[in-house]
């Protein structure tokens, strides 16, 4: 099972990295693993998580 989350406009790299880390840690607590992410040209980030739960 997959879950996709978008992190909104965050133009500073350090701030975006912190938001990605916070969301990854939050989702880990829920049983998800971050498998990939992408940063768009509009300073947003798309995170894809996976879990073995059905």
Contact 50, 5 (CB under 8 A): no
pLDDT of the residue at 29: 96
In terms of Cβ atoms closer than 10 Å to its own Cβ (0-12, 13-18, 19+), residue 48 is middle
pLDDT above 80 (res 53): no
Residue 54: pLDDT band with limits 50, 70, 90? low
The pLDDT tens digits of the residues spanning 3-39 come to 999 999 999 999 999 999 999 999 999 999 999 999 9
User: For residue 52, what pLDDT is reported?
Assistant: 82
- pTM for the predicted model, two decimal places: 0.89
Closest CA to 43 of 14, 13, 19: 13
């Amino acid at each position: 099972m997959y879950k996709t989350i978008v992190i909104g406009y965050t133009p500073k790299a350090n701030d975006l990295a912190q938001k990605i880390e916070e969301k990854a840690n939050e989702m880990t607590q829920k049983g998800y693993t971050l498998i990939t992410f992408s940063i768009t040209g509009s300073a947003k980030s798309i995170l894809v998580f996976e879990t073995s739960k059905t």
